[in-house]
Structure 1
Amino acid sequence: MSARDWLSISGQAALEVVAGPIFSETSDELGSARRALEWYPDDVWRYVLACDWIRVDQELPLMGRAADLGDDAGSRVIAARLVCSVMHMAFMVERRWPPYSKWFGTLFRTLAHADEVGLAIDSALRANNLAGRQLGIAAALEPLLRRQNALELTATTRATIPFWDRPYLHTDPVIIAQLLDGIVDPSVRALPRGRGSVDQRTENVDVLVDVNARRSAVAN
């Protein structure tokens, strides 16, 4: 499959093929499909992970800027989006397909880093102030970066750094650069920065359940 074919596969669509027991099979057709869809090719994996870090990088400072404007509701909404991106990143780091929203949190709790990451994101969601939200998101990213480093996808020690001279955080840009610099396949290197897989581009159910709509969503 092409890189864009891979990006058009939602986690739920993959799970509908690869998850669960096989009770009877008279050919290897299903087994072959399962092996083919087990996980992304390494370069596509790097790209999708980089897109998660980019998404977090873009919105983490905005959470603080909204709070400083007195928009606590807006800051909380951004915090919730960041938590969703961090949870998606946790699935990606562990090479696990994420399910649709009903089961997203349930399956997240089965991940190897669920306890540490989960405590941090729970604190971010419950925090009544910006400091608590920032610290929660930052703490959730640290074990994911350590796992990435252990997989030799990245080699840096800080998940977040100060946002220039402002009192906010953003992700260390070295992380994104190292993920993208490790991509060898020219077709993956040519993909637009930050747009990612269909799961990263939309939560619209009518798109995610329609294979042709998913392909259209990642066409550019």
Structure 2
Amino acid sequence: MPGLQLSRRFYDQAVAPLLGGIPHSAGLLGDGSEVLGFDDAVSTDHDFGPRVQVFVATQADAEGVHTALERLPQRFEDFPVAYRDADRLDGAEHHQVEVTTAARFFTERIGCDPADGMGPADWLTAPTQRLATLVGGDVFRDADGSLESRRRALRWYPQDVWRYALAAAWLRVSQEEAFIGRTGAVGDDLGSALVTARVARDLVRIGFLVERRWAPYSKWLGTAFSRLPLAERVGPHLSAAVRAGDWRARETALCAAQRELAIATNRLGLADEVDPEPRQFYDRDIRVLFGDRFTNALAARVTDPEVRALITRFGTRRHDASAMLPGTVDQVVDSVEVLGHPDRCRAATGVLGITDPSQASPE
């Protein structure tokens, strides 16, 4: 049984009847493959079973819920109700009904409460893998609308933050796209393959930005990408690139993937249209898209004062006046030990150009 279905049945049949008239909301959000709908039989070997979050308004309500939960059954749908979850209660065996408030739950996962509004600093320090788990999952009961209102606030970036993130994503591609041919031409086939995989991953993440979907963490990145509408056009080229046995084939396949994503970026209407055709890399026998052309076009259309200030603060490269944008926290950092901890993500604001993580303004 899929984890979401199991948890809904657990709430409906075992949890809700115990709560009586206690005002609450409930759902399954946050961490866990089942929240994204990617769990399978293998997922049941650890940290898996009936679980749910119960959201209350006051501490008094929380105490009442905890008391009621003492009457939970020992088993549900052939699963033990009390089991170990490494991420909760220090791994102690316990029922996995988390009792909290909506404000606390969201703040613990992205460092702020979306009900208070999301400023640029909040968006830039919220990893997409966390956002995916908060707008994903399922809400079983939303008594006061506090869950869905927060989920709506996190559906997607504001227009200019979206431009900024997409501009930074294309800049990352431009920084390494020529290295596939450069490494291959000097006989470094392993180096060429490694760079190809890195660029392909960045192109996958551009696909999520184009489709307005939050990219999950690496385990499910390819699976989630395959379900995007543009995957049918881009996916075969990326697969060919990472499987190719020589750098010419890698270059050809990556250029084809970049072209499709460039066309898709143009269709968004976020910037002036840019020629999507790859071209020669200066005088060298190498073909690239020059992804930073999209960076500059997108950055030029940003009008939000706070995002504009970020772009101005980082300035441009001396040799070609291209914008220098580090991007969002998960475009800058690739460590589970940072992205999995909101306090560490928000501590990275200096690197992102935001001087005070407690303020929405980068000033």
The bucket for the TM-score relative to the shorter chain is: over 0.9
Tell me the distance in 2 between the aligned counterparts of 1:71 and 1:190.
41
**AA matched with 1:111:** L
Bigger fraction of residues in strand: 2
Alignment of 1:29-108 (within 5 A): 29-108=146-225
CA contact (8 A) 1:50 1:176 kept: yes
**Deviating more after overlay: 188-197 vs 98-107:** 188-197
Tell me the distance in 2 between the aligned counterparts of 1:128 and 1:134.
11
Match of 1:167 among 261, 281, 285: 285
Alignment of 1:76-155 (within 5 A): 76-154=193-271, 155=273
Task: Indicate the residue corresponding to 2:125 in structure 1.
Answer: 8
Q: How many angstroms does 1:214 deviate by?
A: 0.8
Tell me the distance in 1 between the aligned counterparts of 2:187 and 2:270.
39
Q: How many angstroms does 1:174 deviate by?
A: 3.1
CA contact (8 A) 1:197 1:218 kept: no
Q: How many angstroms does 1:131 deviate by?
A: 1.1
1:217 is aligned to 2:348: yes
Which structure has more relative contact order (CA 8 Å, sep 6+)? It is: 1
Tell me the distance in 1 between the aligned counterparts of 2:267 and 2:158.
18
Q: Give deviations 1:109-163, integer Å, cap 9, x for gaps.
A: 1101111111000110011111111111111112222222222124123243211
Larger radius of gyration: 2
Bigger fraction of residues in helix: 1
CA contact (8 A) 1:138 1:160 kept: yes
CA contact (8 A) 1:56 1:171 kept: no
Report sequence identity in percent: 39
User: 5+ residue gaps in structure 2?
Assistant: 1-117, 315-323, 352-363
**AA matched with 1:171:** L
**AA matched with 1:52:** A
Tell me the distance in 2 between the aligned counterparts of 1:5 and 1:159.
35
**Superposed CA RMSD:** 1.4
**AA matched with 1:130:** W
Query: Normalized against structure 2, the TM-score is what?
Result: 0.58
User: 5+ residue gaps in structure 1?
Assistant: none
Task: Indicate the residue corresponding to 1:189 in structure 2.
Answer: 308
Aligned pair count reads 220
Tell me the distance in 2 between the aligned counterparts of 1:133 and 1:99.
25
Off by >3 Å, runs of 4+ in structure 1: none
**Deviating more after overlay: 86-95 vs 121-130:** 121-130
